[in-house]
Amino acid sequence: MPILTCKRVLFYSQADEAAFFHFMSSIKAVKRVEGVGDAILLHVSSRPSQESLRDLRGLFRRYRISNPRQLEVFTNPPLKSK
């Protein structure tokens, strides 16, 4: 199960933070959320739907989460070794 890291997410108010977690919990591919230090870890199913991927991209963009390229693990299949 892939883990996405959201480091130092900036919230502008308590309502903004609540909206972030509400939106995150509504994404079907997000199976578990864990706080570690200054990071929020999202445990995501290994085969998220296109809808879930759009929602994750939206979440990363809206909250300016660093390293949005970590989502590429879902769009670029790993190379198979021979």
Residue spans per domain, the chain: 3-75
Contacts of 16 by beta carbon, 8 Å cutoff, 6+ apart: none
CA 32 from chain centre, in angstroms, equals 10
CA 14 from chain centre, in angstroms, equals 20
Confidence of residue 74 (pLDDT cuts 50, 70, 90): confident
Q: Is the pLDDT of residue 6 over 90?
A: yes
- pLDDT given for residue 43 in this prediction: 96
- pLDDT given for residue 81 in this prediction: 55
Quick check: 29 and 56 in contact, CB under 8 A?
yes
| Residues paired with 35 in a beta bridge | 40
We find that the CATH architecture of domain 3-75 is 2-Layer Sandwich (3.30)
Q: What are the E-state strand segments in 1-82?
A: 3-7, 30-36, 39-44
Tens digits of residue pLDDT in 15-60: 999 999 999 999 999 999 999 999 999 999 989 999 999 999 999 9
| Residues paired with 4 in a beta bridge | 42
DSSP state of 80: P
Q: Which two tokens stand for residue 66?
A: 């660093």
Confidence of residue 5 (pLDDT cuts 50, 70, 90): very high
